[in-house]
Structure 1
């Protein structure tokens, strides 16, 4: 669950700051990406876990309301539902702290239990809000079945070497790209270098998202920059998740990577003009009308 506080600016260390508003919203990277994908018309199954609490019930209901199959989302009495504490300032920038909660109890056995569902998928979309053993297990099942794997390595943490060869598409932001490429920082000036370095680790495609500066896409054919659409941003909280979900949906349809990236960029542009996470995600029709 996303717990969102609107603030005039980010507080300094030790400072207490009066906020504009507080709003709990259904969220989580996996759930957000699932909803974004479903909004583009894809059939989506989700694997995860929530606590036996009001947040968990609300998250499950939100997924079902968006036509996401939540039968793979388990419930535990031993841990509370994961939460993200999000501050959004007047410049539409955000900072986020995540407490995984029940998601931390997801393991390789969960992917194994749902092996047939993973193997039959057109694409497996992974994040790092669940333990690495679950990520590795699901990716291995997908690879055995010939199902492409898209990894969004967030929240950022070190990746085991065994995971790299299982990833077909890597989508990450500047902070994550710096961590995994070894560069001291990544920005529009050196994103090509970071993407090329990560491509050598094994993925067929590496996409570095640069916010208002668009994306850099690296593949065997070379490196390209695709610009963002110019909009007046209100809240960037779910921009990355919207981009990834839309990208996944178009790839499952058999669209080219270039077509899918163009669609995802338009979806993210609409998202940042609205407040919230899942509530800000556009429908397929809205994205197509923008194109």
Structure 2
């Protein structure tokens, strides 16, 4: 069994399904509502656990009552949690997500981790076959990167801490929106060169995923699917990628992760899609 350590953000996600996105000073009646743990690292952890990995998430939740929502959801879905902010009474990060029925498009209002500063737990971090970090909670991210056997970085948007993390990375999964300071508007190849990791892939939503491994490069087609809810699709991709990399090469792992993300977007809600997900 693959042992995966995820380090990063866990939030309370309030998810509303609507027939239309309200304009300023308008109200819209939700046709559906869910509450779940969210955040890049947390969603990736849930995905990896559903695929059969043994997963530990190190994050910052705290003692506020809202934190129980996060802990309960993660426990139900097989994720072990190490809370680096166990004594904090500050509310955990909360995101309000509105999903448009029919297209799966969404709007998100979030606070993320704000100014919360957390330290590495006194007992340190557990050993793992692979480690996935999302760049949130910088102290945790750096500690996880330095101790990782194999490090995968979720590079969604640039964060200053990436300058300390990227030198340890084996695989960097960058979104098309990621911009390294060394390149103002790079091509995917230039971005991969600037990142400097042994393996870099760049996602473009429903378009092909470009990958770069030393002197080799290629593209993986994304199977077209009817999108119902795109919330957390990238996080699901990263969790599946981490699981697949335990025993597959980069192109094969990307194909697998893309298929898993495709299952995610075909289903409404944060967790219902997991029932349609076969274990690796």
Please point out which of 261, 269, 275 is paired with 2:254. Answer: 261
Q: Does the 8 Å contact 1:46/1:71 carry over to 2? A: yes
Please point out which of 89, 114, 118 is paired with 1:106. Answer: 118
User: By how many angstroms is 1:50 displaced?
Assistant: 1.1
User: By how many angstroms is 1:237 displaced?
Assistant: 0.4
The answer to which structure has the higher strand fraction is 2
CA 1:224–1:235 in 2, change beyond 3 Å: closer, same or farther?
A: same
TM-score normalised by length of structure 2: 0.84
Please tell me whether residue 79 in structure 1 is matched to residue 86 in structure 2: no
User: By how many angstroms is 1:213 displaced?
Assistant: 1.2
Q: Which residue of structure 2 lines up, in the alignment, with residue 4 of structure 1?
A: 15
CA 1:272–1:178 in 2, change beyond 3 Å: closer, same or farther?
A: farther
Q: Does the 8 Å contact 1:46/1:69 carry over to 2? A: yes
Deviation per residue, 1:101-124 (Å, 9 max, x gap): 5993323x33x6324x1xx21111
Q: Distance in 2 between matches of 1:34 and 1:95?
A: 23
CA 1:58–1:102 in 2, change beyond 3 Å: closer, same or farther?
A: farther
CA RMSD of aligned residues (A): 2.6
TM-score normalised by length of structure 1: 0.81
User: By how many angstroms is 1:37 displaced?
Assistant: 0.7
Deviation per residue, 1:25-80 (Å, 9 max, x gap): 22221111101111111111110121323431121122122221224565234211
Within 5 Å, which residues of 2 pair with 1:197-276?
197-252=191-246, 254-276=247-269
Deviation per residue, 1:174-218 (Å, 9 max, x gap): 22257774218xxxxxxxx22442334321111111111131112
Within 5 Å, which residues of 2 pair with 1:27-176?
27-72=38-83, 74-90=85-101, 91-101=103-113, 104-107=116-119, 109-110=120-121, 113-115=123-125, 117=126, 120-130=127-137, 132-142=138-148, 147-154=149-156, 156-176=158-178
Please point out which of 176, 182, 185 is paired with 1:183. Answer: 185
CA 1:260–1:160 in 2, change beyond 3 Å: closer, same or farther?
A: closer
Q: Which residue of structure 2 lines up, in the alignment, with residue 20 of structure 1?
A: 30
The answer to which structure has the higher helix fraction is 1
SS at match of 2:66: helix
Q: Does the 8 Å contact 2:203/2:209 carry over to 1? A: yes
Q: Does the 8 Å contact 1:139/1:149 carry over to 2? A: yes
The runs of 5 or more residues in structure 1 that have no matched partner are 185-192
SS at match of 1:105: coil
Q: Which residue of structure 2 lines up, in the alignment, with residue 189 of structure 1?
A: none
User: By how many angstroms is 1:162 displaced?
Assistant: 3.1
Q: Which residue of structure 2 lines up, in the alignment, with residue 188 of structure 1?
A: none
Q: Of the two structures, which has the highest relative contact order with CA contacts closer than 8 Å and spacing of 6 or more? A: 2
CA 1:35–1:113 in 2, change beyond 3 Å: closer, same or farther?
A: same
